[in-house]
Amino acid sequence: MNLRTRLAIAGGSIAAGAMLLVSVVLYPAVEANLRGQIDSSLVAAAGKAPDVAKAIKEKFKGTANESSFPSVPLGIGSTQLQIVPDPVRAGPSTEFVDVTARDVEVAKGTAAAYFRTAVYDGVAYRIYTAPFPGAPGTLVRTAIPQSDPAPTLHQLAWLLAGSTVAAGLLAALASRLAARRVLRPVRRLTETVELIRTTGDLAIPIPTDSQDEIGRLGSAFAGMTAALDDSVGAQRRLVADASHELRTPLTSLTVNLELLAENLADTQAPHLAAEALGQAGELRTLINDLVDLARYGQPAFHTEDVRLDLVAERVAARAARRATEIGFDLACAPTLVHGDPDALERAVANLVDNAVKWSPPGGRVLISLEAGALDVADAGPGIPDSDLRFVFDRFYRSPAARAHPGSGLGLAIVRQVAEAHGGTAEAVPSRTGALLRLKLPVCQLP
């Protein structure tokens, strides 16, 4: 069962349920109203009893019955009126329903007028019993057959039943027609997603023209496919770049090893071996960088509060032991950040290693940290303005950097770590040397 059919059934069921509820409330109300009208007409007929009695006396004036009331019920429309003269006695009656002890009390004035239902000659009557006005001891009874309102109630019941069914069917039809229009964006979105699944083309545009929940769902799908497309594109670029970067040192390593194998007795053998070891080291570095680049692109498995200033001090101390000809100046304010400690230390180390690589012997590297911004400045030749926005790209190496060892991934790792922690990495224009900045959101120090 598709969604449109379910919506149609739901709409029809709601309308039918509403009509049924209305019927359950309306039918007893109408029935009670009709009963009330009958009782009112009985009371009104009883109030006319003196006029009826007077008319009867006028009719029988000069006859033997002039001074007596007829006890046989008189028909006034559909209402029966009976006057029971004094003395009123309880017992069976051949003219109408039996006279009860309560009727006797009403005639005496010791009980109030009342309504009751009784059967006479196979017909159920609604009867009103009251004392005759102006004649103590005399009783007046008015009655209407209970079957009188039945046809009206039967018609009402059929009308309500038919209306309930009709309302449910009409609502179901209207709901299905409305659902066809309302669900049109859902159908378009479904068709587009199925097309993306079939073709594998994540660049297919997803319709997001509506401003309702469907539009928001389409926007979410569009954002998801865009992120997937970027991820797939990045993976393809990474594979292409990695294959290119790996091919060069691997080729050189292979050639040097072949020459070494052919000329073991040659005086160049130590040189070739050293070259092969150096190229193997470059391969190891490149592979490690690729692994780190992939690892730091994933959500961190372990995060904690990290003192970034202490991380910078540790990294600078290690670099100073390796590069004894380079000086280091630190101006790091206490700074607390939250993140992956290993990733943050790797990012800081890459910035410092880059500064060491470009600094001449006797040069100094300045490491400063304030308000979450870690600046690493070197005394090298600097970065041309045209290259500033590319230095953090994967495998990007400026023409001047091609003579230096490196994979072109160190600064890319810095940017990836920064973005994973909600920060940024940028190359800042500088008049002397290069200035690279890692900016991270800070936490309140305890």
Q: What is the mean pLDDT of the segment spanning 351-359? A: 90
State what percent of residues in the chain have pLDDT above 70.
65
- State the pLDDT at residue 242: 63
pLDDT-based confidence at residue 87 (cuts at 50, 70, 90): confident
Token couple for 143:
């009655």
- Note the pLDDT tens digit of each residue in 103-126: 888 888 888 888 888 888 778 888
Q: What is the mean pLDDT of the segment spanning 3-16? A: 65
pLDDT-based confidence at residue 65 (cuts at 50, 70, 90): very low
Residues 6+ apart with CB under 8 A from 57: 66, 67
Q: What is the mean pLDDT of the segment spanning 135-164? A: 73
Q: What is the mean pLDDT of the segment spanning 86-90? A: 81
Residue 342 pLDDT > 90, yes or no? no
Domains of the chain plus CATH, in order, are 300-439 (3.30.565.10)
- Note the pLDDT tens digit of each residue in 384-399: 888 888 888 876 666 5
- Considering 8-12, 45-49, 131-135, 342-346, the range whose residues carry the highest mean pLDDT is 342-346
Average pLDDT across the chain, whole number? 76
Q: What is the mean pLDDT of the segment spanning 333-345? A: 91
Residue 424 pLDDT > 80, yes or no? yes
Q: What is the mean pLDDT of the segment spanning 226-249? A: 68
pTM of the model: 0.45
Residue 282 pLDDT > 80, yes or no? no
